[in-house]
Chains A and B, each alone.
Chain A
Amino acid sequence: MSNMTSATSPIDQWEKEEYKYGFVTDIETDTLPPGLSEDVIRVISGKKQEPQWLLDWRLKAYRHWQTMTEPTWANIKYPPIDFQKIIYYSAPKLDKDRPKSLDEVDPKLLETYEKLGIPLEERAVLAGVAVDAVFDSISVATTFKEKLGELGIIFCSFSEAARDHSELVKKYLGSVVPYSDNFYATLNSAVFTDGSFVYIPKGVRCPMELSTYFRINAMSTGQFERTLIIADEASQVSYLEGCTAPMRDENQLHAAVVELIALDDASIKYSTIQNWYPGDKDGKGGIYNFVTKRGKCLGRRSHISWTQVETGSAITWKYPSCILQGDDSVGEFYSVALTNNYQQADTGTKMIHIGKNTKSTIISKGISAGHGQNTYRGGVKINKGADNARNYTQCDSMLIGDQCGAHTFPYIEVKNATAKMEHEATTSKIGEDQLFYCNQRGIGMEDAINMIVNGFCKEVFRELPMEFAVEAQKLLEVSLEGSVG
Chain B
Amino acid sequence: MLEIRNLHVAVDGNEILKGVDLKVGAGEVHSLMGPNGSGKSTLAQVLAGRETYEVTDGEVLFNGKDLLDLSPDERACEGVFMAFQYPVEIPGVTTNYFLRAALNAIRKYRGEDELDAFDFIEFVKEKARVVAIDNSLLQRAVNDGFSGGEKKRNEIFQMAVLEPKLAILDETDSGLDIDALKIVAEGVNKLRAPDRAIILITHYQRLLNYIVPDAVHVLVDGRIAKSGGKELALELETDGYTKIAGQRAAVETEKV
Q: Which residues from chain A sit less than 8 Å from chain B, CB to CB?
A: 431, 433-434, 436-445, 447, 451-452, 454-459
Among B75, B91, B103, B158, chain A packs the most CB atoms within 10 A around the CB of B91
**B76 contacts A439, C-beta separation under 8 Å:** yes
A456 to chain B, nearest CB (A): 6
Q: Which of A434, A442, A452 has the most CB of B within 10 A?
A: A442
Q: Is the CB of B102 within 8 A of A436?
A: no
Q: Which residues of A contact B81 (CB under 8 A)?
A: 440-441
Q: How far is the CA of A436 from the CA of B162 in the complex (A)?
A: 16
Q: Cβ of A454: which chain B residues have Cβ within 8 Å of it? A: 92-93
Contacts A440-B49, A440-B72, A443-B102 given; indicate if A458 touches B92 (C-beta within 8 A): yes
- Decide: B91 and A455 in contact? CB cutoff 8 A: yes
Contacts of B72 in A (CB 8 A): 436, 439-440
Given contacts A451-B98, A455-B92, A456-B92, contact A439 B71 (CB under 8 A): yes
The residues of A that contact B91 with a CB separation of less than 8 Å are 455-456, 458
When chains A and B are docked, how far (Å) is the Cα of A431 from the Cα of B109?
A: 25
Interface membership of chain B positions 94-126, coded 1 if the CB is closer than 8 angstroms to chain A and 0 otherwise? 000111011101100100000000000000000
Interface of B is mostly: helix
Question: 11 A-B residue contacts at CB 8 Å?
Answer: A436-B88, A440-B72, A441-B81, A442-B73, A442-B103, A442-B105, A443-B76, A443-B101, A443-B105, A455-B92, A456-B92
Contacts of A452 in B (CB 8 A): 90, 93
Q: Are B88 and A439 in contact (CB under 8 A)?
A: no
Chain B residues at the A interface, C-beta cutoff of 8 Å: 48-50, 71-73, 75-77, 81-82, 84, 87-93, 97-99, 101-103, 105-106, 109, 141, 158, 162
Tell me the complex Cα distance, A441–B164, Å: 10
Which B residues are in CB contact (< 8 Å) with A434?
Answer: 88-90
Residue of B nearest to A453 (CB): B92
A456: chain B residues within 8 A (beta carbon)? 91-92
Residues of A within 8 A of B141 (CB): 455
A460 CB, nearest partner CB in chain B, Å: 10
Chain A residues, CB < 8 A from B87: 437
How many Å lie between the Cα of A101 and that of B87 in the bound state?
Answer: 52
- B82–A440 CB distance below 8 A: yes
Q: A-B pairs with the 4 shortest C-beta distances?
A: A455-B92, A455-B93, A458-B92, A441-B102
**A69 to B162 alpha-carbon distance, docked (Å):** 62
Q: Are B90 and A441 in contact (CB under 8 A)?
A: no
The chain B residue sitting closest to A447, CB to CB, is: B101
Identify the closest chain B residue to A365 (Cβ): B92
Q: Give the residues in chain A near B99, CB-CB below 8 Å.
A: 441
For A457, give its contact among B49, B92, B109 (CB under 8 Å). Answer: B92
| Residues of B with C-beta under 8 A to A443 | 73, 76, 101-102, 105
Judge whether B77 and A433 touch: CB under 8 Å: no
